[in-house]
Amino acid sequence: MIRNILKSFILVAGIVVLLASCKKDEPIGGTATQNLANEWWVQIAIDGTPVVPDFFKIGTYNVSDNVTSKLWIDDFGNIWPFKIKVDADAKGQTFSVQNAASEYTNITVSVANGKILTNASKGPVSKAVTDSIYFEAVFSDDPGTNYKFTGYARARFSEDEH
């Protein structure tokens, strides 16, 4: 009898300790630049003429400091290659930089007139409403050439992938 009471006491004490040690998960929040961050399908033009007809995938994402004033632009090695940190205005959804050093190569890139327009585009096949991106870039190894990047946020529908 005492043995059963002792077992019950140990079981109840263990459950109490277990429950007391459980912590409620903190709510998951977004990043400081979440309204600028995405993967994008972009085309590149010079003076209104496409450089190539293909779309390229690039990414914009938060820096490790998690501040509203900085943002990465990364072509994942698909275009130049370049990965640069730009000055951002998360609230105004704009970005730019002068002579940012690429993480992939020994070039610098200047970006002007960068902006994200919420719900201003559609997936080309799915017609899913998505954001658009625009920026102008000058690369140090091609000075004087102003490349215009235009595109839309990945809609995540396979028919919109390039």
Q: What is the pLDDT of residues 109-161, one digit of tens each?
A: 999 999 999 999 999 999 999 999 999 999 999 999 999 999 999 998 999 99
Q: What is the pLDDT of residues 64-123, one digit of tens each?
A: 999 999 999 999 998 999 999 999 999 999 999 999 999 999 999 999 999 999 999 999
Residues paired with 70 in a beta bridge = 87
Please state, as a whole number, how many other Cβ atoms lie within 10 Å of the Cβ of residue 43.
17
Q: What is the chain's length?
A: 162
CA angle 120, 54, 121 (to 5 degrees): 5
- Is pTM beyond 0.85 here? no
Which amino acid type is present at position 22? C
Residue-by-residue DSSP string for 30-61 = --TTTTT-EEEEEEEEETTEESSS--EEEEEE
Whether 26 shows a pLDDT value over 60: the answer reads no
Q: Is the C-alpha dihedral spanning 46, 49, 52, 53 positive or negative?
A: positive
Higher pLDDT: 51 or 19? It is 51
What's the token pair of residue 57? Answer: 């995938």
Higher pLDDT: 14 or 150? It is 150
